[in-house]
Amino acid sequence: MRIFKNLTLYHAAIALLLAAFLLYGWAFIQRTVIVVDGQPMHALFDDAMISMQFAKNFARGDGLVWNAGGERVEGFSNPLWVLVMAVVHLFPTPLTETSFYIKLISLACLLVNLLMVKGLAEHFSTNRLVALAAVFLTAFYFPLNNWSLQGMEVGLQALLVSAGLLLALRALQAGRFQPWTYVLFGLGVLLRMDTAAPVVAAAAMLAWIDPQHRRQHLAGGLAAVGGVLLALTLWRLAYYGDALPNTYYLKLGTGSTILRVSIGLRRLWDFVWASNWAIFALPLLLPALDKRRALWPLYAAVLAQVGYSVYVGGDAWEHVGGANRFIAVVMPLFFVLYSHALGELTALVVAAVKDKSGRAALVAQGAMLLWVGLSLVNLNTLFVQNAFRMWTLQNKPVFVSGTERYAGMGLTIKEVTTPQATVALVTAGNIPYFAERPSIDLLGKVDPVIARLPARLNASLFEPGNYQPGHNKWDYAYSIGVLRPDVVAQVMDASQEEAMPYLVDYEMHLIEGIPYYFRSDSPHVRWELLSPES
């Protein structure tokens, strides 16, 4: 290794990469600042704010519920992340600032995960360029940063999976068993139950390649997955009265599995093709270049998580491009495999040239660095319009404009209603969080009646954005006609005509260009603050 022959230089390069990532991450967080009524504030991607709503109520002593004093419905899929968010809410921080600390926690998780990526790459290769490449690709991969720094649990999930695998592989190399691997894996399942997919795959592969400790791996995997899921189920039955979270019924409980998997396969194909299929094909060469079985737990975890994404039909936000929330979790492992494959190919080229002067090695390694840089640009710029400007932070990241709108709507509703007013809405995160009013979720994430309805399927299901798991069920006859909210803040896109029969005794008012429907006989609307009916 000639470019980084000096170990001190290598460590300096790693430190420089980590510092650059911290600067980028801090700048990214600043680009997610929103402005409402001229005041800067922090909020998260709306799905993350649903978890924040549960966390806020839990920290205030109202229980793990969406509405304080309301029905117990498990409208979240990330128990450990909700608990992390609840800890933040224990401090006397304004609601307009709590999200900032969640972003900082995610930034810290992403930073530590880079150290895990470095360790994994070094475990497989003595070529220091491999570790630098893996860290570089992970540090500046936009989808991973975007999901994490806008409040989702993706960064922590990636860290737990990567750290667990690193501990396991180091123990395997030393000829011993590492129980902390399965502690981290168990925390991953507690964080999100679907972490069971990569954990089961990795544990099974570790049991296969480590016969000396096969029983421990099987027992550890059983405890990390079966034990945690059993504990969650018993707690869920006791607290919510249901064996499964409401989000299960909303996304998977109804509809055709074959159709859902077909759409998931199409979403995966779109992701791979748009991001450049040649990049994803390169790690497939690695088993022919490095036959060590220790690589297989990484492959197993990546393939299992990708398989899970396919099984659930992809994510609701596939149209924004890049790795979805599920696949982004294992992209750091993919980058380790990708960088190692590049390193092995580079070594083959150098060996074939047989240049004793060392110039061929320098050229090959320089070419590898160039290829890694081009790969990163490729992965971050091809998948969606304005991707390059968002990645380089010239434009605000995706979702920020929506976050600003919904947070502003929440504060507006808080101003023009009394605390007893009920609000019907579609985006169930920022609006109820900032409005602090009892709310009705029109899409059913926290409404078991809606969650158990059959999904509404658009004509062009295979087009990005036309199939959105968790966003394709509603019943205005029930949510508006029966529940009679004081305010209808939103209805689902393109369903205005369907909603109108249930809004006949509501008055529509435009506030800062946004239409709201207020029930005409509501005593919980501050009518004196509203302009004449628009």
The average pLDDT across 498-509 equals 96
What is the predicted pLDDT for the residue at 461?
Answer: 61
Q: What distance in Å separates the CA atoms of residue 88 and residue 90, rounded to the nearest whole number?
A: 5
What is the predicted pLDDT for the residue at 324?
Answer: 95
- Name beta bridge partners: 506: 519
What is the predicted pLDDT for the residue at 533?
Answer: 55
DSSP character at residue 382:
S
Is the predicted pLDDT of residue 151 greater than 70, yes or no? yes
What is the predicted pLDDT for the residue at 459?
Answer: 59
More confident residue, 40 or 359: 40
Q: What distance in Å separates the CA atoms of residue 335 and residue 105, rounded to the nearest whole number?
A: 23
Closest CA to 76 of 159, 190, 184, 156: 190
Is the predicted pLDDT of residue 126 greater than 60, yes or no? yes
Contacts of 174 (CB under 8 A, 6+ apart): none
Is the predicted pLDDT of residue 291 greater than 60, yes or no? yes
Which runs of consecutive H residues, i.e. helices, occur in 125-153? 128-139, 142-149
At residue 68 the predicted structure's pLDDT band, cuts being 50, 70 and 90, is very high
Phi, psi of 507 (to 5 degrees): -100, 130
What is the predicted pLDDT for the residue at 1?
Answer: 46
What is the predicted pLDDT for the residue at 2?
Answer: 54
Q: Of 137-151, 296-310, 364-378, where does mean pLDDT reach its minimum?
A: 364-378
More confident residue, 274 or 87: 87
Q: What distance in Å separates the CA atoms of residue 161 and residue 530, rounded to the nearest whole number?
A: 51
What is the predicted pLDDT for the residue at 3?
Answer: 57
The average pLDDT across 288-295 equals 93
Q: What distance in Å separates the CA atoms of residue 43 and residue 34, rounded to the nearest whole number?
A: 7
pLDDT in tens, 56-66: 999 999 999 99
Is the predicted pLDDT of residue 132 greater than 50, yes or no? yes
Q: With pLDDT > 90 as the criterion, what percentage of the chain qualifies?
A: 85
Instruction: Show me where the domains of the chain are located.
Output: 7-31+74-391, 400-529
Is the predicted pLDDT of residue 133 greater than 50, yes or no? yes
- Mean pLDDT over all residues of the chain? 93
pLDDT in tens, 459-489: 566 666 667 788 889 999 999 999 999 999 9
pTM: 0.95
pLDDT in tens, 413-432: 999 999 999 999 999 999 99
Is the predicted pLDDT of residue 34 greater than 90, yes or no? yes
Dihedral, CA atoms, 268, 269, 271, 277, nearest 10 degrees?
Answer: 130
Q: What distance in Å separates the CA atoms of residue 482 and residue 485, rounded to the nearest whole number?
A: 9
Query: Could you tell me if 292 and 169 are in contact, meaning their C-beta atoms sit under 8 angstroms apart?
Result: no
The average pLDDT across 157-181 equals 97
Q: What distance in Å separates the CA atoms of residue 219 and residue 231, rounded to the nearest whole number?
A: 16
